[in-house]
Amino acid sequence: MKPSTTKDNSSWRERWVAARNRVLADPGFQHFAARFFLTRPIVRSKARTMFNLVAGFTYSQVIAACIEVKLLDLLADGARDLDDIAVQIDMPREAADRLLRAAASIGLVERLGAERWALGGDGAALRGNRGIAEMVAHHRLLYADLADPVALLRRGAGGGQLSNYWTYAESVGQGEGHEVAAYSGLMAASQPLIATHVIDSYDFTRHRRMLDVGGGQGAFIAAVAARVPAITLGLFDLPAVGERARIALDAAGYGPRVTIHGGNFLDDALPGGHDLITLIRVLHDHDDAPALQLLRNIRAALPPGGRLLIAEPMAETPGAEPAGDGYFGMYLWAMGSGRPRSMKEIASMLKAAGFSATKRVPTPLPLTVSAIVAEA
């Protein structure tokens, strides 16, 4: 009975979607809806949404230009005249004016007079999050790969500039290799906001010993150390990455509290003795087979009742759907590894890896990070 009901519902929905699309695509209906007072506001809203989708790349490049010439930093010190701005960002007056107008249209700057400009509200928010600025600068590689999106999809995952950037694992044994430094620096810069949301959402004080797997340069460990003084901490990552974490944590004053473990979390056994293991923006970087192997390795390292906390942007998150399959879906394809997963998919993988129970952990900004906890 159930299969038949499901099929009937699916068939009804298909007919409804087809009928709806015929109406919306009809030029006559579009003309009527744009003129009728009840539908006119909806049409205008939809038109703006469609235009923003088409123009999104241009907006992104305006942001990139503002960051590259340090326009937001310049205006953070106070409002300036157009001529002064042009000199400071090394552009012809007309070009500076064009950039300022474009930046104002998306809220990064605002005009205070005929030729006087100040930092805008969205520009101040962007400038206050160093991780966003780092990612915008890093997008140069992603956009190069997306210049021909059909070719990118047809050739298979990876193989472009972004995938070459992320092959930091090849630098193992080379100490301060460029790939390790670039990878670790980017992740450390973009971690603070993520860490704040995760620590605000989960009670870390219930645990005695925590191991952050794939912990990079130690930004998340440092955030936990600052907020939870009693917890003993460990970090597991590739040896060259772990060396950078040791330097950063020592400089921050948390070195004595953190044990660094070097290894490959897919091939090497994880150290035991921790009642909490964290995976912060790690699982979605890996395809299904290695991701499942990682979860199994973590399950083997946890004692009965121990917990695994996974935090990362997730697919099918209500209100943040484009960030999951839209942004991270294409980003990870270009990177050549991993995919965004829904909360349901991750819960299924955790069960397959031997975890007994899973629970969603609500976060204040799911667009940035969602979280799930599993019990061994």
Query: Which of residues 186 and 326 earns the better pLDDT score?
Result: 326
Q: What is the pLDDT of residue 103?
A: 97
What is the C-alpha to C-alpha distance for residues 156 and 195, in angstroms, rounded to an integer? 33
Lookup result for tokens 């083997």: 300
- What confidence category does residue 169 fall into, taking pLDDT thresholds of 50, 70 and 90? very low
Distances (CA, A) of 168 to 15, 51, 129, 288, 332: 49, 38, 25, 20, 15
Q: Mean per-residue pLDDT for 206-234? A: 95
Phi-psi region of 253 (alpha: psi -120 to 50; beta: other; left: phi over 0): left
Q: What is the pLDDT of residue 134?
A: 77
Q: What is the pLDDT of residue 132?
A: 78
**Whether the predicted pLDDT of 140 surpasses 80:** yes
Cβ atoms of 177 and 171 within 8 Å: the answer is yes
Q: What is the pLDDT of residue 48?
A: 81
In tens, the pLDDT along 322-356 reads: 888 999 999 999 989 999 999 999 999 999 999 99
Cβ count within 10 A of residue 117 = 25
Q: 348 is written with which tokens?
A: 């299924």
What is the C-alpha to C-alpha distance for residues 179 and 177, in angstroms, rounded to an integer? 5
In tens, the pLDDT along 88-102 reads: 999 999 999 999 999
Among residues of the chain, what percentage have pLDDT more than 90? 61
H or E element, residue 73: helix 71-76
**Whether the predicted pLDDT of 358 surpasses 80:** yes
- What confidence category does residue 175 fall into, taking pLDDT thresholds of 50, 70 and 90? very low
Q: What is the pLDDT of residue 128?
A: 82
Cβ atoms of 43 and 34 within 8 Å: the answer is yes
Cβ count within 10 A of residue 24 = 11
109-111 and 80-81 beta bridge pairing? unpaired
Measured on CA atoms in the order 199, 204, 209, 213, is the torsion positive or negative?
negative
Average pLDDT, the chain: 88
H or E element, residue 75: helix 71-76
Q: Mean per-residue pLDDT for 269-275? A: 96
Please give the full DSSP string across 79-123, using - where no structure is assigned.
Answer: -EEHHHHHHHTT--HHHHHHHHHHHHHTTSEEE-SSSEEEE-HHH
List Cβ neighbours of 59 (8 Å cut-off, separation of 6 or more).
Answer: 52, 106
Lowest-pLDDT choice from 7-16, 147-156, 210-219, 300-309 = 7-16
Query: Which of residues 192 and 40 earns the better pLDDT score?
Result: 40
**Cα 213 to the chain's mean position, in Å?**
18
Q: What is the pLDDT of residue 50?
A: 84
What is the C-alpha to C-alpha distance for residues 43 and 276, in angstroms, rounded to an integer? 50
Among residues of the chain, what percentage have pLDDT more than 70? 91
Q: What is the pLDDT of residue 171?
A: 47
Q: What is the pLDDT of residue 31?
A: 81
> If we measure between CA atoms, which residue out of 66, 130, 49 comes closest to residue 101?
66
Query: Which of residues 59 and 23 earns the better pLDDT score?
Result: 59
Cβ atoms of 343 and 337 within 8 Å: the answer is no
- What confidence category does residue 13 fall into, taking pLDDT thresholds of 50, 70 and 90? confident
**Whether the predicted pLDDT of 194 surpasses 90:** no
Q: What is the pLDDT of residue 46?
A: 81
Q: 120 is written with which tokens?
A: 């805008």
3-state class (DSSP) for residue 177:
coil
Cβ atoms of 290 and 266 within 8 Å: the answer is yes
> If we measure between CA atoms, which residue out of 67, 188, 194 comes closest to residue 180?
188
Q: 182 is written with which tokens?
A: 């670039």
Lowest-pLDDT choice from 158-162, 177-181, 182-186, 348-352 = 177-181
Cβ count within 10 A of residue 108 = 27
Task: Tell me the pTM.
Answer: 0.82
Lowest-pLDDT choice from 10-19, 226-235, 357-366 = 10-19
- What confidence category does residue 160 fall into, taking pLDDT thresholds of 50, 70 and 90? confident
